[in-house]
Amino acid sequence: MLERAELAGLVDHTLLATTATPADVEALAAEAAELGTYSICVSPSMLPLPFTPQVKVATVCGFPSGKHTPAAKAAEAAESVRNGADEVDMVIDIGALKAGDAARTEAEIRAVREACPAPVVLKVIIESAALTDDEVVAACRAAEAAGADFVKTSTGFHPSGGASTHAVALMAKTVGGRLGVKASGGVRDWDAAQAMVDAGATRLGLSGTRAVLDGGASEGY
């Protein structure tokens, strides 16, 4: 069982609402510092931040549909890094993967990786709830081959749902500790967060972070 501070240190404290304002983002960053989260995760349009956060800054790319060209995703990621992002969570083209074109998936991940090389951390959102187990494995293998640092379950916006312990365990088994595994989407209470970590998650995407850390239930991402 993780301690509160240990769990907080795994969290990307997230605000991706379309209605988010600069004041909301500043409040998010202040709360992240208070709670001791690893990072904040905000939309690219909120960057650069007009203040210096006390935690890492993550953003998203090709979000939430993934139906952007590799060049567009690469350009978006590069701009975000120029604007201060330490980490980029990109959405793959789920349809391409489901059509059996894992080579295309690998190529688009590689394009983003080349646009934001290390030390920028690249996480690959595979939308696991929309995939079969074989497709989850294929997505994870493509992410590893393309040089990603993490695989991530979900955007939190897909109708198929968010993270599951089954998907996290499968992803963790596939990457074998060589990549991190981020669970996001529908992780809204302490027990769910702990279950994701027990299944192999090494990072959590939460919007209701305070409620989760306090042992309650939250709404949102």
Q: Give yes or no: 182 in active site.
A: yes
Distances (CA, A) of 140 to 37, 50, 74, 89, 131: 26, 35, 19, 14, 12
Q: Kindly report, residue by residue over 140-162, the tens digit of the pLDDT.
A: 999 999 999 999 999 999 989 89
The residues, any chain, with a CB within 8 Å of residue 26's CB and separated by 6 or more, are 50, 51
Burial of residue 79, with CB atoms counted within 10 A of its CB: 0-12 exposed, 13-18 middle, 19 or more buried? middle
Q: What is the pLDDT of residue 1?
A: 83
Q: Kindly report, residue by residue over 173-183, the tens digit of the pLDDT.
A: 999 999 999 99
Evaluate if residue 217 carries a pLDDT over 80: no
Active-site choice (12, 73, 89, 93): 89
Residue 89 pairs with which residues in a beta bridge? 60, 123
Q: Within a 10 A sphere around the Cβ of 71, how many other Cβ atoms?
A: 11
Active-site choice (12, 73, 123, 182): 182
Evaluate if residue 220 carries a pLDDT over 70: no
Q: In the chain, count of helices (H) and strands (E)?
A: 9, 8
Dihedrals phi, psi of 60, to nearest 5 degrees: -115, 165
Rounded to the nearest 5 percent, the helix, strand and coil shares of the chain are: 45, 20, 40
Is the pTM for the entire model greater than 0.85? yes
Evaluate if residue 3 carries a pLDDT over 90: yes
- For residues 72-84, average pLDDT: 98
Q: Where are the alpha helices (DSSP H) in the chain?
A: 4-8, 22-35, 70-82, 94-98, 102-115, 133-145, 165-175, 190-199, 209-213
Q: What is the pLDDT of residue 215?
A: 85
Evaluate if residue 131 carries a pLDDT over 80: yes
Cα atoms found within 13 Å of the Cα of residue 172, Cβ hemisphere only: 18
Dihedrals phi, psi of 150, to nearest 5 degrees: -140, 155
At 84, list the tokens. Answer: 């201060």
Element (H, E) at 88: strand 87-91
CA 92, 136, 122: angle at the middle one, nearest 5?
A: 45
The class level of CATH for 40-186 reads alpha beta
